[in-house]
Amino acid sequence: MKKFIGSLALAGLISASSFAGTITVAHSDLELSGALTAGFFAVDKSNNNGAQDTFKITAVDITLTDKVNDTIGFVADLGKTEQDTLLTADITQNNQNFGVDFAYVSIRPLDNLTIDAGVITTNIGYELYHTYENSNIFFGMVWNAQPVTYAGARITFEAAENLSLYFEYNQDSGSYGTVNYTEAFATGIIGNIFGLDYAISYYDYAGFKNLVDFVLSGSFGNIDFAINFDYQWMDDKTKNSIKNQGAVSVDDHAYGVALYLTPHLTEQISVPIRLEYVNDGQSKDNAGNEVDTGLYGIPGDFAYSITITPTYQPTKNSYIRAELGYVKTDQLNNDFQNNAGKSYDHRYVYAIEAGYMF
């Protein structure tokens, strides 16, 4: 599965060179890999009263991996990464400074047991941390409600060939309305059966919400495919917080599904397509006013999207791609405004991105 294989490469358990070129530093056990990506981004409606467009660097990424021996190693991912989504309110914001994206020590006390500790990447979902690791440029709506990176520790046990179990504790923190959360727990199964990669995970934001995540991916002929399904529900603390804000009833659950299809027309040309649907409901007061937009943060009860990204790869380490995305919400969205400040229930996003991986 894309998420799991990517995490193994970063942990140094398999070679990162299977994804890009790798430079081995002379007289050292360090391996250096990474990427530089940049492009042009545009939206036809934003919360900044109208259309926006901007040129930006989407990733300057340098990954150092040290496989000293079979027992201990580390990964340090340094750089500047932009993660624009279909729901991004302002694409001109550049909030990321050059720094540590994630870094952790990987210890293998037994052949089938690995412990990762530090700032780790999540096992939840299908889309990976950097845009160049994904088949689309803009991140999706389902990804938008998933964890990304956090300080924590994860134990992965290889129970059998093509079957691994993991358990983790982390300090994923944030806020939702008046609710603050500071820790989370996760467990899951990752494996391969009948040539299909799969992952089933449970993620518990203590005092906030719970998330069940399912990913299945594989290939059929010249088409790569994947599906990511999430079901999540609020903890009592979150529901009570919404009630205290005046909601007469709380819609406390949500789900989202993303389908990824990548037809390979030639060895160098592909056309990735992402289809998404999310349903998160809403909570209202006695007057019918919206108190809470739901766990996906989308006005109304549901939204859907389609993203198409024709891609040309002149070499295995480089690409240029264009993207058109469309997202539709159930109600008017204040983040989707024209130049006159009028709100709409839909928006288009556009992008052209080039990247080189080493």
pLDDT of residue 23: 61
Statement: residue 13 has pLDDT above 60:
no
pLDDT of residue 350: 97
Q: How would you classify residue 128: left for phi > 0, otherwise alpha for psi between -120 and 50, otherwise beta?
A: beta
Q: Which residues lie closer than 8 Å to 267 by C-beta, 6 or more apart? A: none
249: pLDDT confidence band, cut at 50, 70 and 90? confident
User: Strand locations in 68-183, DSSP E?
Assistant: 72-81, 99-110, 113-121, 149-160, 163-170, 174-176, 179-181
Q: Which residues lie closer than 8 Å to 186 by C-beta, 6 or more apart? A: 122, 123, 124, 154, 166, 167, 168, 170, 201, 202, 203, 204
CA neighbor of 232 nearest in space, from 207, 257, 206, 252: 252
| Spatial distance between the Cα atoms of 303 and 325, rounded to a whole number of angstroms | 13
CB of 77 within 8 A of CB of 100?
Answer: yes
12: pLDDT confidence band, cut at 50, 70 and 90? very low
251: pLDDT confidence band, cut at 50, 70 and 90? confident
pLDDT of residue 279: 96
Please tell me the least confidently modeled range out of 10-24, 219-233, 247-261.
10-24
Please tell me the least confidently modeled range out of 8-22, 37-51, 258-272.
8-22
162-191 per-position pLDDT tens digit: 999 999 999 999 999 889 999 999 999 999
pLDDT of residue 138: 97
pLDDT of residue 69: 64
Statement: residue 28 has pLDDT above 80:
no
pLDDT of residue 290: 81
Statement: residue 286 has pLDDT above 70:
yes
What the block records as the tokens of 129 is: 């941390």
Supply the mean pLDDT for the chain.
Answer: 89
| Spatial distance between the Cα atoms of 115 and 110, rounded to a whole number of angstroms | 10
b/e 75-91 (16+ beta carbons within 10 angstroms → b): bbbbbebbbbbbbbbeb
pTM for the model stands at 0.91
Residues in the chain: 358
2-357 CATH: 2.40.160.10
What the block records as the tokens of 336 is: 């989707």
pLDDT of residue 18: 36
Instruction: Calculate what percentage of the chain has a pLDDT beyond 70.
Output: 90
pLDDT of residue 48: 79
Three-state SS at 295: coil
User: Domain-by-domain residue ranges, the chain?
Assistant: 2-357
* Residues paired with residue 55 on neighbouring β-strands, in sequence order: 40
CB of 252 within 8 A of CB of 243?
Answer: no
Statement: residue 145 has pLDDT above 50:
yes
CB of 17 within 8 A of CB of 33?
Answer: yes
Statement: residue 121 has pLDDT above 90:
yes
pLDDT of residue 293: 84
More confident residue, 188 or 17: 188
205: pLDDT confidence band, cut at 50, 70 and 90? very high
- Residue written as token pair 């070679």: 15
| Spatial distance between the Cα atoms of 170 and 26, rounded to a whole number of angstroms | 36
| Mean pLDDT confidence for 152-171 | 97
